[in-house]
Amino acid sequence: MGAWLIFLALLGVGAVILLAQMIRIVRQSEQAIVERLGRFSRTLDSGINFLIPVFDRVVFTADLREHIHTFEPQAMITQDNVTVYLNAVTYYRITDSAKAFYGVASFREAIEQLIITTLRNLIGELELDQTLTSRNTVNTKLQAVLDDVTSVWGIKVTRVEVKEITPARDIIEAMSSQMVAERRKRAAILEAEGAKRSSILKAEGDKMSRILEAEGHKESTVLESRGRAEAELIRAEAQRRALSELQQAFDSEQAEERVLALKYMEMLPRLADGKGVSLVVPDKLSNLASLGSMAGQFLKTNQNLPEEASGVQLPPPKRSPSQADF
C-alpha cells in the first residue's frame, strides 16, 4: 500500500513536470527559438505556446527591443599620424532571432569588434582636424558598413554616434596654443579693421566738411558779388536819373556846361582833404562866381530833387568855391 502511494506521487510529479515542459509562455517583445532533437524547429512568438516534451527544447530567447552598446575608448591613428582615443554608441535591434543565434556565436561582441575595426579604417583616412569636425560623416559611413554586415546576422543598426574623440595630451596642449594664437590673430585683425574703418570715416567726414565749407564760401562769394553788382546797377541808375533831372532843370543850351560845373563843385571837398596835390581847372569853369550863382539857381529850382540822385553833394553854404584848398 505504501509503495503504491509513492508510485502515484512520483507519477503525479512527473505529469506536472511534463505539463510544464509542454507549455511555454513568451513575454511581449521577445522571441524564443525551439530545437527538436537538436535541430531548429520554429520560433515562438509572445503568448502561450505548446511544446512536445523531451523532443522540443527552447535554446534561445531574443529580446526584440532596441539595444544600446558602447565600449571603452580605443586608441586610433589618424592620417597625419596623430593618436586619438575614440569610442561610439551603437543602437541596434534584432530583426531575426534565428539568424542572430545561428549566424554568429556572440552578436554583441561581434558588433563591438566590427565597430572598432571600422572606426580605425575611417579615422585612418582622415586628418586630425577632419576627425574633430566630421563626426556626422564618420557616423554615416560607420552605419552604412554596419548595416551591410549585420543584416546577415538578423540585426538592424538604427543609429551610430561617435561619443568621444580625445587626442593625446601633447596634442591637446599644441591645439590649445594654436587656438590662443588664432584668437589673438583674429583680435588683431578685428582691431586693425576697426582702426581702418575709423580712419576712413574720419577722412570722409573731413572731406565732406571741406566740401561743405567750400560750397558755403562759394555761395557767400556769389551772393556778395551779386549784391555788389546790384548795388552798382542801382547806383548807376540813380546817377543816370540824377543827370537826366539836371539836364531837364537847366535850359538845353547850357545844360552840359552847368552839369559839369556842379560835378566839379562836388569834387571840390574831396580835393581839399589834403590828399590831392594838383587841380586842373577847365577854361569854361574859371569864373567861380558864375558857379555859385548857378548852384543857387539850381537849389531854388530843384527843392524836391532826390537826395541819392547820382550822389551829388554841394559844398557847405558858408564856404565859397574860392576858399577851396588846392
| pLDDT, tens digit (0-9, with 9 covering 90-100), for 150-199 | 888 889 888 888 888 888 777 777 777 877 888 888 888 988 888 888 88
Q: Percent of the chain at pLDDT above 70?
A: 73
Higher per-residue confidence, 18 vs 121: 121
d(C-alpha 55, C-alpha 261), whole Å: 161
pLDDT in the model for residue 162: 85
Q: Which residues of 153-182 are buried (b: 16+ CB within 10 A; e: fewer)?
A: bbbbbeebebeebebeeeeeeeeeeeeeee
Which of these, 75, 189, 90, lies nearest to 139 by C-alpha position?
90
Residue 48's DSSP bridge partners are: 25
pLDDT in the model for residue 183: 84
DSSP codes, 189-217: HHHHHHHHHHHHHHHHHHHHHHHHHHHHH
Q: Are 120 and 130 in contact (CB under 8 A)?
A: no
Would the pLDDT of 120 be above 80?
yes
- CA distance readout (Å), 46 to 56, 61, 92: 17, 11, 21
Output the nine-digit C-alpha cell for 257.
Answer: 556846361
List the domains of the chain with CATH numbers.
Answer: 19-63 (no CATH), 67-173 (3.30.479.30), 249-323 (no CATH)
Q: pLDDT tens across 245-287, in order?
A: 666 665 555 555 666 666 666 666 665 555 554 555 555 444 4
Question: Which residue carries 554615416 as its cell?
Answer: 140
- CA distance readout (Å), 276 to 263, 268, 269, 321, 323: 17, 10, 10, 16, 15
Would the pLDDT of 312 be above 50?
no
The mean predicted confidence, pLDDT, of the chain is 76
pLDDT in the model for residue 187: 87
pLDDT in the model for residue 237: 83
DSSP codes, 21-45: HHEEEE-TTEEEEEEETTEEEEEE-
Would the pLDDT of 77 be above 70?
yes
For the entire predicted model, the pTM comes to 0.50
Q: pLDDT tens across 200-235, in order?
A: 888 888 888 888 888 888 888 888 888 888 888 888
Question: Which residue carries 530567447 as its cell?
Answer: 61
Output the nine-digit C-alpha cell for 232.
Answer: 552798382
Give me Rg for the CA atoms of the chain: 62
Label residue 95 left, alpha or beta by phi (over 0 means left) and psi (-120 to 50 means alpha): alpha
Neighbouring C-beta atoms of residue 123, cutoff 10 Å: 23
Q: pLDDT tens across 206-215, in order?
A: 888 888 888 8
Q: Are 92 and 44 in contact (CB under 8 A)?
A: no
Which of these, 266, 243, 259, lies nearest to 315 by C-alpha position?
266
d(C-alpha 203, C-alpha 141), whole Å: 56
pLDDT in the model for residue 228: 86
d(C-alpha 118, C-alpha 165), whole Å: 15
